[in-house]
Amino acid sequence: MTGSASDLVERLRAAGEPTRLRILALLAQEELAVLELGQVLDQSQPRVSRHLKLLAEAGLIERFPDGAWVFYRLPAEGEGRAFLDAMLARLDRDDPLLARDRERLCAVQRARAAEAADYFARNAPQWDQIRALHVAEDAVERAIADAAGPGPFHRLIDLGTGSGRMLALLAPRAQSAVGLDLSQQMLNLARARAAEAQLARCELRHGDVAATGLPAASADLVVLHWVLHYLSDPGAAAAEAARLVAPGGRLLIVDFAPHGLEYLRTAHQHRRLGFSDEEIARWLGAAGLEAQVHAALPPATPEGLTVKIWRADRPAAAHPQRSAA
């Protein structure tokens, strides 16, 4: 790591304060909003915001608005990230204050997960109707089928499969398919849909889209269909999806363009209000995939949501031979 003496002094001043050091340690685990940081640190929002302002000015964190919320994260690369990695590696994980922060962050995460699980459990039977309120499903599915290509596919993996719509749409083109979801209620719906569609080689698994446990380079088509906006770390899920893509394979991400419908956070448990092309391209580019916008589908009404379909291909010689499941 190199840099001017003045830059180094500025970073040391910004990081060399107990609360700000705790903030950096927390953001090393996941991106967080001001309110969440205040809950973990047991400090007021204005006080936390002042600390965040100093860290941002020193280039040690990134600030990005998302509707009425503002999230903070560590920089992905650069001199500031190199400085942080070297500093955070020297922290004692058994330090009582840092350990308490981790426990409180886990409590915030558990509460967030419980709210989402309750939402999915309550709304599983009418899930497709809820989604249809925001976008014309048939138009989206035509665009997804076009983005996927004609196949046939050796293996399809649908991450966050939900009610199994993508399996019903794409699995007939695949020799085998896997649908993964954390919600048992959703998996039950997906199983029923797979049976109705007579998908013979279709496996439904309970699992985390950010840590699937599936072999690397094991699928030539991976799909994340309206999943990322529910996640606290969508970049991790995108990286995990990219890890599964075999040489010559393709990843499809279907989600919303940035929007300002704040009620979706509370009414429908949306963590993020859409994603920019630049953000998706950065995540997938870091994973070695060549990303592009395949389609942008405008809403049927002025207050609706624009659906984006991002397609990312892995070059044919970019990864060792495909692994078997």
For 140-149, write each residue's pLDDT tens digit.
999 999 999 9
The CATH number assigned to the domain holding 208 equals 3.40.50.150
Classify residue 322: in a domain, yes or no: no
* Whether residues 141 and 223 fall in one domain: yes
Q: Are 159 and 67 contained in the same domain?
A: no
Total structural domains in the chain?
A: 2
Distance from C-alpha of 226 to C-alpha of 214, rounded to nearest angstrom: 20
Kindly state whether residues 194 and 279 are assigned to the same domain.
yes
Q: Would residue 81 count as lying in a domain?
A: yes
Q: How confident is the model at residue 321 (pLDDT cuts 50, 70, 90)?
A: very low
The residue segments making up the domain with residue 25 are 5-91
Q: Do residue 65 and residue 131 come from a single domain?
A: no
CA separation (Å) from 59 to 45, 64, 88, 202, 285?
Answer: 21, 13, 15, 47, 22
Q: Is residue 132 part of a domain?
A: yes
Considering the domain architecture, whether residues 86 and 41 belong to the same structural domain is answered as: yes
Do 30 and 177 belong to one domain?
A: no
* 64 and 147 fall within a common domain: no
79-88 and 5-15 helices cross at what angle (nearest 10)? 50
- CB of 288 within 8 A of CB of 316? no
**Measured between alpha carbons, how far is 28 from 136 in angstroms, rounded to an integer?**
38
Question: Which of 218, 285, 232, 221 lies closest to 254 in space, CA to CA?
Answer: 221
| pLDDT tens-digit series, residues 76-116 | 778 888 889 899 999 898 899 999 999 999 888 888 777 76
Identify whether 137 is part of a domain: yes
Residues 294 and 154 in one domain: yes
Residue 120 lies in a domain: no
Spatial contact of 171 and 197, defined as CB atoms under 8 Å apart: yes
Number of C-beta neighbours around residue 213 at 10 A: 9
Within this chain, do residues 283 and 215 fall inside the same structural domain, yes or no? yes
Q: What pLDDT is stored for residue 273 in this prediction?
A: 93
Biggest CA pair distance of the chain: 67
Q: Region 227-254: what's the mean pLDDT? A: 95
- pTM of the entire structure? 0.71
CATH of the domain at 41: 1.10.10.10
Note whether residue 101 is domain-resident: no
